[in-house]
Amino acid sequence: DVKVTQSSRYLVKRTGEKVFLECVQDMDHENMFWYRQDPGLGLRLIYFSYDVKMKEKGDIPEGYSVSREKKERFSLILESASTNQTSMYLCASSAGGGGTNEKLFFGSGTQLSVL
Amino acid sequence: DAKTTQPPSMDCAEGRAANLPCNHSTISGNEYVYWYRQIHSQGPQYIIHGLKNNETNEMASLIITEDRKSSTLILPHATLRDTAVYYCIVRVYNTNAGKSTFGDGTTLTVKP
């Protein structure tokens, strides 16, 4: 069965800390995505990647960076965590190529609290 | 990607069909309609997608109007486990240009 795994289900960090959220997919997918989900705001796209070492900004990239050194792994980095980055973070992947291959497969999410 | 509009909430009786509408009046010719759902505390799950023909799979049916400006997701026999937030999104065909915007979706509550 296809799988997108996020390294932590819950994470508590302090303001100013550098935070790494890791995501791994086992489907050899080309595309990977990071979203954050906040009550009343739906899912908002932070960054996505359509190839190794390639990245593109989504709707809300400020305060975040990403890294994709290997095809299966996509990391979200908060250089200096702030309280307004407390949120549920969701990783997703898709095969790419259009139509059926644009189905997104999501991880279970990481609930990050920044104190 | 075209924007979508969905009602914020709907109720459905267990065992009855749930019909969830979505408006995507600015959809362009190369955009597909996708439906996902998110059960509490989990990541969204793919349900179904279509371009212009009606589609059916083991989870649901998707009815797209002839002008493609709206669609309806049908859960033929809703169960309590179908209580979730349902998202309708449209995505361009070209993967390199694609990025999804999920709105607030429709919260479906299936009642006994």
Q: Please give the pLDDT value at position B32.
A: 87
Amino acid letter, B31:
E
What is the DSSP secondary structure assignment for residue B3, as one 8-state letter?
Answer: -
Nearest-CA distance A25 → chain B (Å): 14
pLDDT < 50 stretches in chain A: none
Task: Count how many pairs of residues, chain A against chain B, have C-beta atoms within 8 Å.
Answer: 70
The two tokens of residue B16 are 């009855």
Is the CB of A35 less than 8 angstroms away from the CB of B99? no
Give the residues of chain B that fall short of pLDDT 70: 1-2, 93-101
The answer, for A48 touching chain B at a CB cutoff of 8 Å, is yes
By CA distance, what is A59's nearest residue in B?
A: B101
Give the model's pLDDT for residue A77. 98
Residue A19 is predicted with a pLDDT of 97
What pLDDT was estimated at residue B99?
63
Neighbours of A36 (CB within 10 A): 24
Q: Look at residue B97 in the predicted model and tell me its pLDDT.
A: 46
Calculate how close chain A gets to B62, using CA atoms only, in Å: 15
